[in-house]
Amino acid sequence: KDDDARATLANLGQRQAIAHDTAAIMGLRKDIGTPEFTPLVRLDLETGRAAMAIVPVEQDVGPLLDAVRSVPVIEGARTRPLATKPGRRAAD
């Protein structure tokens, strides 16, 4: 959306919270011996976009997106670079 949102997604803890909460809501096809099915969220450093790899029990995309959107922003990830003068100048 903007530089503030990209800064929030750049926080590793926020991305882990998204993966954990989404997996808890949607369920996972995973056993103890299959770490390759652990959900991952990776960040594209060029664009600031995040990509999540998950194998949910429920295969419907709509509820999956709702689960991702319902994850709260953790306090440590909440940054507002656009609220500072250098941040606004860098965004231009």
pLDDT class for 81, splitting at 50, 70, 90?
Answer: low
Give the mean pLDDT of 7-14: 84
Tens digits of residue pLDDT in 26-74: 888 777 777 777 888 998 888 888 899 888 888 889 999 999 999 998 8
Q: pTM of whole model > 0.85? A: no
The ranges assigned to domains in the chain are: 3-86
How are beta strands 50-53 and 40-43 bridged, if at all?
antiparallel
Q: How remote is the C-alpha of 35 from its chain's centroid?
A: 19
Q: Can you tell me the distance from the alpha carbon of 73 to that of 66, in angstroms, rounded to the nearest whole number?
A: 15
